[in-house]
Amino acid sequence: MSELPTPRAARLQRPSWRDSRLVVGVLIVLAATALGARAVASADDTVPMYVAASPIRPGDRLTATNLRRVDVQLGATAPLYLPAAAGPPSDGWARASVAEGQLVPSGAVGSRADIDVQQVAVKVDTTSATGLSVGSVVDVWMSQRDPATTSERYLAAKRLLQGVTVAGVPTTASAFAGASAATAVQLLIPHDRVGEVIGAMDSLSRLTLVPGPGGATGS
């Protein structure tokens, strides 16, 4: 009986640079390294910016109290917002409302001379002040008292002001002289319209505040 041939063990060969599997493996390692370096580099691209630490109203002074620094990635849009690298501006005043937690647009910041609104206490019907908060945006409607009668009869309402900001609301309704309950709401009125508002109150016209969409929440 003849003996079966003994199989010879194959000798392992050292991988060559010409081995496609080795080349692919090296490329994968290089790609992973490049992606990791890119992720680390992009994480360092943040810039310090200011967000509103509390609701900011037109006419508010911008200070460390109502501003908070955050580091964010904005890229090419960075010039559109207020930078925090140098601290709050020495003569910085809000020209527009900024909700709490939002980045402060650079266009919403000006000097004291740029502020064109004045805070005025406006007497309104208590019902129309319900649900308002600081930062709410409302329209002011005026109903003139009918001059043909001495009773509390009013003519058709017309809009006196549009899109004004609420600067303060009373914690409880206060009663003024007269049969109907009223309360005073602080509004930021444009300088050139303050006289009209005061004249409307002096003539005993009835003023009603109408919030815009979402305006009663101070958004």
Amino acid letter, 135: G
For residue 141 the two structure tokens come to 């409607």
> Is 200 in a helix, a strand, or coil?
helix
Residue type, 11: R
Token reading at 189: 């009125």
pLDDT digits (tens, 9 = 90+) for 64-110: 999 999 999 988 888 999 999 888 888 899 988 888 999 999 998 98
Structural domains for the chain: 47-113 (3.90.1210.10), 116-217 (no CATH)
Give the model's confidence band at 129: pLDDT under 50 very low, under 70 low, under 90 confident, else very high.
confident
What confidence score (pLDDT) does residue 21 get? 65
pLDDT in tens, 114-128: 888 888 999 998 888
* pTM for this entry: 0.59
Amino acid at 48: P
117 and 191 Cβ atoms separated by less than 8 Å: yes
Two tokens, residue 119: 């805070």
